[in-house]
Amino acid sequence: MRFQGLTVLITGATGGFGRASAAAFAKEGAALVLSDLDAGALDEVAAELPTEAAVLAGDVVERELHFRLVELAKERFGGLDVAVNNAGIAHEPGRLQTIPEEVARRVIEVDLIAVMWALQAQIPAMDPRGEGRGGAIVNIASTRAYQSEANGEAYAASKGGILALTHALARTLGPAVR
């Protein structure tokens, strides 16, 4: 029960990795705040878990969703201790010159920009109980950031961006990290 008494927020909670993360944190005693696009699927995931879970459906590219998720964590469970920024999408393989603008923009917005919005909401919310514990944020990238495949440039760029964003933020927050 390593996460007993802690609150964990997970975006992309109905997909494979998000769902597995929710199950693992629940097994360790965490209270969960779960988000994804499909409200019905969120309710299904929450019902499967052996812990308390609050759900809020929404699109992670909407900046306000992340602030609402943090508020939900505070209202239901007293704060936010861990965030797993997992929501992500890929695109159909295709040559860079043929990727439609709306597809490239959607991948970058969901996979990278949404993580920036999430961090803006999550960072100030860590350690709301004033116990000096801080918190932990996990930004999910992909091996495609290091070992790209042909015809997946927008996805690789978005995941590489997550690595760069996370590294830069760690440098910025370094003095605050124990």
Q: Helix, strand or coil for residue 152?
A: coil
pTM above 0.85, yes or no: yes
Lowest mean pLDDT among 25-39, 61-75, 99-113, 146-160: 146-160
Q: How many residues does the chain have?
A: 178
| Catalytic residue numbers, as ranges | 155
- The more confidently predicted of residues 19 and 154 is 19
Mean pLDDT, rounded, for 70-77? 97
Residue 132 has pLDDT above 80, yes or no: no
| Overall average pLDDT of the 124-136 stretch | 71
Q: What phi, psi does 165 have (nearest 5°)?
A: -60, -45
Amino acid letter at 171?
R
Per-residue pLDDT tens for 11-67?
Answer: 999 999 999 999 999 999 999 999 999 999 999 999 999 999 999 999 999 999 999
State residue 176's pLDDT score. 60
Beta strands in the chain (DSSP E): 7-11, 31-35, 53-55, 82-85, 136-139
Element (H, E) at 18: helix 16-27
DSSP 60-99: TTSHHHHHHHHHHHHHHHSSB-EEEE----------GGGS
Residue 161 pLDDT > 60, yes or no? yes
pLDDT score, position 159: 93
